[in-house]
Structures are given as C-alpha cells and as structure tokens.
Amino acid sequence: MSSQIDHLLDESRKFPPSAEFVAESIDDPALYERAKADREGFWGEQAREMLHWHKPFTQVLNWSNPPFAKWFDDGDLNVAYNCLDRHVEAGLGDRVAILWEGEPGDERRITYAELTEEVKRTANVLAELGIGHGDRVAIYLPMIPEAVISMLAVARLGAIHSVVFGGYSADSLRSRIDDAGAKVVITADGGYRKGKVSALKPAVDQALSDRHGEGVQQTVEHVLVVQRGGNDVDWDSERDIWWHEAVPAASAEHEALAFPAENPLFILYTSGTTGNPKGILHTSGGYLTQAAYTHKYVFDLHPETDVFWCTADIGWVTGHSYVTYGPLANGATQVMFEGTPDSPHPGRWWEIIEKYGVTIFYTAPTAIRSFMKLGRQIPQKFDLSSLRLLGSVGEPINPEAWMWYREVIGADKTPIVDTWWQTETGAIMVSPLPGITATKPGSAQVPVPGVSIDVTDDDGNKVGNGNGGLLVVTEPWPSMLRGIWGDPDRFKATYWEKFEDKGYYFAGDGARLDEDGDLWLLGRVDDVMNVSGHRLSTTEIESSLVAHESTAEAAVVGAADETTGQAVVAFVIIKQSYLDAHSPEGLVAQLRAWVGEQIGPIARPRDVYIVGELPKTRSGKIMRRLLRDVAEGREVGDTTTLADTLVMSTISQQVK
Ligand code: 6R9
C-alpha cells in the first residue's frame, strides 16, 4: 500500500517533468550556473530584463550597513508603470489582465489597456485627496478588481499601501491604520461571502470612531468606498467618497513619475510569536524584480497562452506577489475570484478552472486537504485538462496531499512546485523549477537561482546533508524585507540577532536536508517538539497520521509533560467515508500504534483527540498555540484571528 510509506522521512518517490513539459519550458539550467558564478551580477541582469528603469542603476547591492540592504539603489522606476503602461505601449493593451469572477457569478474581463486607464483615474482621485510620495493608504476590500487597482494607484503615486485582509475585525483594522498613520482608507460597502453580502464599511466606521478619548491622533482624512454589496451604509459626507462617483469623473491622463528603487512600496502586517503584529516593509525595485522573476521561472510562464490563477486573497503576501505584482509585471492573464471554494457548491474552484481554461494553479495545502476530505468525485466532474502546472504555498504539504493534488487535479502528469517563502522574504525563495527539477512529494527542494539558503544548528553551523536544523538565508536577496515599520530594533532582534556573527537571516522554520541536499520544511521552529531529548517535527507526525486510511486532517502539538519534557498530542479529523464503513472503536489506539510504527515509538502520540474541525486563521494556517492550550488543560488564549472563533469551544467540549 503506497500510503504506508507516505510520511516525510521515508518518502523517496521522484517525478521528473515529462519530455513534453521540458520541450516547452522556459526554465534553463544556465540560470543556476549564472547565479552561482556571480550572484549580484545575476540579479542585476534579472532587474534589467524584468523591469523598465526610468533611470538605470549602477550598483546592484549595497550591504554596507547590514541588515539594512539597498538594492539597485541609484536606479529609478515606477512600479505601476511596470505593471501596466509599458505593456500597453508594447502593443499588448488588448490582452486580458484579469478574468474576474464574483461570488454570485458575475464576471468582468479587464484588459491591460482598461486596467491602466482605471489605475490612472484612481491615482488622480487619490492625488486629489492629498496622497503623494510616502503617504500611507489602508486598503480594506474584498477580492474585487478595485483591490488590485487601488494597490497600483497607490504605487503609481510613490505612496505606500497597507492592505488589511477583509476578514479582519474593526480592532485589527484600527491598530494597523494607527501603526501606519494612514491618511486614506479604501474600502467597499460590502462583499459577497457564501451567498450573502458581508458588510465591510461598518468596520471602517468603527475603526475610525471614538479616537479622541484614547489620545490617539486620527490620521485618516478620507474614506473611498467601492459599491459592491449594495448594502446600506452610514455616511459621513465630509469624509466619505463613493468610488463610482469619483473615479469615472477623474481624468484618465496620469503620468507615472519615477521613484528611487528603495522607495517603500507597501507595509503588510503579519503576526509574530508574541504581541502586536509586525508591519513588514517592502520597497520597490528589488521586490518587483524578484516577484516578477519567480513568477516567470517558478511558474514557467508563457504570458501569451497561460491563464494563471493564484487563489490567495490580496490581504496576504501571496496575493501581493502572485496576484498583483508578479503576474502584472509579466503581462500575464489571470483569474481573480471573489468567493470561497465551496459556495454555492463544493466544485466551484474546479468549475472556474474549466470555465476559464486555467493552465497554472497556485493554492495552499489546507485547501487541498479539505478537497481530499470531500472526495475525488467532486473535481472529477469537471474538465481540468487545461492545467499544466500546480503550485503549493503556505505550509508544508504532506506527501499524501501532494500525491492527491498531482493525481486528481493534475491528471497524474502536471509538475507540482512546492514554494517556500514568507511575508518577510517578499517572493518565492525555495521551489523546484518545473522544467528542470525532478520533484519529490513533500519537499520544496532547492533555492531558486540567486537565493542562498542553508540549514544550521542553533549556533549557525551548517548541518550538512542528512541532517535537520534551522532554515537560514545566508546572503541578502532583492525582495527581502527592509524592516518592521517604525521598529528597527525589533527587525534586528527578530531576524538577525540569532546569527549575528554570520550575518544569516533567521526564518523561524525548521528544515532538513536529505541525502541529495534537497530541503524538507518541517514547520515553524516554535512547532518543533522536543520529546525526551529527541527533536520531532509536528509536520512529520501529522503527515504520518494523514497517511492512515481513516484520517482526513491532523494537527499535532507538543504539550508540556513532566517526564518527557514535551509530549505529542494529536487532534485528528476522521473521514466521513471511513466512519460510514467502520466503527470508530479502538481507532485512537490504532492511530497511536500507527505513528509508532511509521516513525518510531518516540513519536507515538500521548493523546489522540478526534475532533470535527481544527482552529485555522483566515489564511488557513492551523493555530497550534490554541491546541496546545487545550492539550495542556489551560484556558484557551486569544482566538480573534481565527476564521471561525467558535471552533475552539467545540474542540474543548470534544476533548472533555
Ligand atoms: C507565503 C506565506 C510564512 C510561513 C513560513 C513557513 C510557512 C510557507 C511553505 C511553508 C513549508 C512551504 N510556509 N510556505 N512551510 N512549505 N511551501 O505563506 O507567507 O503567511 O508569511 O507565512 O509559512 O512556516 O515561515 P506567510
């Protein structure tokens, strides 16, 4: 049975790309050679090849004041011009940029010429509202074209956007607006979610109200409101402006000025291990270079024929780099979808792939696993034959899910690129190149050409092949974060202090190098357990549990244990199809034994809890911290970032 070898460390299957794929692929082994021979020269070439520079740069990297890097520092460019005008000027104005599908099934098809015009009008409106170079604009929108248009309009003015995911609460929005000192907020009346309008503007109103009592300086002067949900909204006529009144009335002429390569482009907040979210700061030239470069080579992009679809919301970094900046810088055609995967029916995503002829599909393991749970008969109802490449991002993908993705969605032939990167890295760092790499289920494998990654022990010594440790980036890279907004000390302390003497960037992820030197990501190091002095990965045990025929999904945490230091505690969701055919009696014991056999007795969970749901953030990451609270019998901590805040009380009940 293939599933019996389906856990990380025994995984040895390899899938080279087919001859047909290789024949058409733009991926060239010379990229690796060139980057290895002269890393900085290589990035200089990419920056010139990928982008239009109003003023060419003469120096690639200035690393004289680490960890504060400057890339292409004396060059000038306009990010929006690179994503829009230059394609129109090159005669590609009629190419579709965005194939948008709304949740209720409405459609918009927007060409590069139309998108450029819309961004120019919006830039004029924002300029009229006082937005200029360096000002901050908060964007709180559903997945509608105006989200992308807003980002590009802000970028066009040399201003800085801070996109806040539409699922965040008024409180989260408020803290982000305050931290960045935003002058304008762009929002919508509401957006569609699971067949209903979900209001957004009330959260903005609430975030902006009652400020004086707290002694906070209210920085927001205007709110630009897209009409999408048609729901009633409160209106402050001094402050609020309808998009559909202001934007069409604005001039469609707008000249994109050139800004320095290191001009800030955006702030994106991400949660750290403690306290307040960190405002990760990215700048223009280096970020756009690596976003475009990775989008081109990792996805083997043929912009004339491909239809790309990244399912991420623009509220996450994946939406920034692989919905907005990478695809548009490359002149690609892409699908953008407002809704959720399962509404109004569980085949909605596959229906969209069929309808638009999607060729490259990029999504997260958590989505793949929930589709696995529903069964292959759902995707099999649709024609997915247009797909030629699949991507994964966001968390380690267990070999079971990888194989299912390839077999069921990819017709047993599409390469899968498992891409490791972070909000902080700005763009993909580790991934196969699909036209070159023989892929391995569960491994992100190799740094992209130009990126230097290694695995070290706690003291920064490289562990070498066959060993595990901490993932580090050993050389600066163009799309690296330039800091944490307003907090240079936290920037140094979080990412650079640990390996200060070596100058390595500490990613916070555990990883292992196999005998071939390929990377296997093992989850956040705060998720690495230490049981009786043995290092165990949550991912590895989860992967083993999911390989059992009964299990749909699993989350593992290390819970404090008097004798072993930490003990393995597992939360599992059982497949409906299994329960239909088997009694659940004895299943907990079976699962414990299974892990013991698969990985070794040391990995055998102390407790296995069968639950109906797992606590996930809105971006789909399992919040193990909360499960640890349950496993350790504590009161469950802050659940406000959960997609469904009720999940934890259900789990606590089920565990009792
Ligand atoms: C892009 C994104 C970053 C963290 C990162 C790691 C995990 C992302 C992964 C992966 C294993 C992959 N992660 N991709 N782990 N394999 N292919 O997700 O950014 O939201 O900042 O999360 O996600 O733990 O450190 P972000």
Q: Does the pLDDT at position 435 exceed 60?
A: yes
Residue nearest to atom 22 of ligand 1 (CA): 422
**Sign of the CA dihedral with 123 first, then 125, 127, and 132 last:** negative
Q: What is the pLDDT of residues 525-559, one digit of tens each?
A: 766 677 776 667 788 789 889 999 999 999 999 99
Peptide bond into 605 cis (omega under 30): no
423 a known binding residue?
yes
Tell which residue, 213, 291, 227, 219, has the closest CA to residue 480: 291
Query: Which atom of ligand 1 is nearest the CA belonging to 424?
Result: 21
With beta carbons less than 8 A apart as the criterion, state whether 7 and 544 touch.
yes
Determine whether the shortest distance from the Cβ of 425 to ligand 1 is under 6 A.
no
Average pLDDT for the chain: 92
Worst-scoring range by mean pLDDT, 207-216, 279-288, 315-324?
207-216
If you average pLDDT over residues 426-449, what whole number do you get? 97
pLDDT band at 638 (very low <50, low <70, confident <90, very high): confident
Best mutation site among 420, 445, 525 for ligand 1 pocket (most ligand atoms within 8 Å of CB): 420
Is residue 164 within 8 Å of 203, Cβ to Cβ? no
Q: Which pLDDT value is given to residue 653?
A: 81
The verdict on the CB of residue 524 being under 6 Å from ligand 1 is: yes
Mutate to test the pocket of ligand 1, among 323, 424, 521 (most ligand atoms within 8 A of CB): 521
ipTM beyond 0.95? yes
Is 193 marked within a binding site?
Answer: yes
Alpha carbon of 421 to ligand 1 centroid (Å): 5
Across 559-586, b (16+ Cβ under 10 Å) vs e yields: bebeebebbbbbbbbbbeeeeeeeeeee
Flag whether pLDDT at 479 surpasses 60: yes
Which of 173-182, 269-278, 301-310, 500-509 comes out lowest in average pLDDT? 269-278
Round to whole Å and give the CA distance between 283 and 68. 12
pLDDT band at 28; cut points 50, 70, 90: very high
CB of 239 within 6 A of ligand 1: the answer is no
Instruction: Please give the distance, rounded to the nearest whole angstrom, from the Cα atom of residue 629 to the centre of ligand 1.
Output: 23
CB of 421 closer than 6 A to ligand 1?
yes
Cβ(402) to ligand 1 under 6 A?
A: no
pLDDT in tens, 144-183: 999 999 999 999 999 999 999 988 878 789 989 999 999 9
Query: What residues form DSSP beta bridges with 529?
Result: 536
Tell me which of 155-164, 366-375, 457-466, 523-532 is least confident: 523-532
What domains does the chain contain, in order, with CATH numbers? 19-42+96-278+297-447 (3.40.50.12780), 532-655 (3.30.300.30)
Most confident range (mean pLDDT) of 205-209, 248-252, 561-565 is 248-252
Mean pLDDT to the nearest integer, 224-233 = 98
Q: Which atom of ligand 1 is nearest to the CA of 423?
A: 21
Indicate if the pLDDT at residue 2 is higher than 50.
no
Average pLDDT over residues 43-48: 98
Q: What's the pLDDT band for 4 if we cut at 50, 70, 90?
A: very low
The predicted-structure confidence for 313-344, as pLDDT tens digits, reads as follows: 999 999 999 999 999 999 999 999 999 898 99
Question: Closest Cα to atom 11, ligand 1: which residue?
Answer: 396
pLDDT for residue 272:
54
Cβ 246 under 6 angstroms from ligand 1: no
Task: Please provide the distance, in angstroms rounded to a whole number, between the alpha carbons at the two ends of the chain.
Answer: 35
What does the CA dihedral 319, 320, 326, 331 come to, rounded to 10 degrees?
A: 80
To the question of whether residue 412 is assigned a binding role by annotation, the answer is no
How much is the pLDDT for 596? Answer: 87
Residue 413 labeled ligand binder:
no
Of 13-17, 43-47, 206-210, 466-470, give the lowest mean pLDDT range: 206-210
Residue 420 Cβ inside 6 Å of ligand 1? The answer reads: yes
509 is in an annotated binding site: yes
C-alpha of residue 290 to centroid of ligand 1, in Å: 17
pLDDT of residue 275: 45
Strand partners, 268: 280
Report the C-alpha gap between 225 and 189 in whole angstroms: 6
pLDDT (tens digit per residue) in 61-106: 999 999 999 999 999 999 999 999 999 999 999 999 999 999 999 9
172 Cα: distance to centroid of ligand 1 (angstroms): 22
pTM for the complete prediction? 0.87
Q: Is position 295 annotated in a ligand binding site?
A: no
Distance 430 CA to ligand 1 centre (A): 11
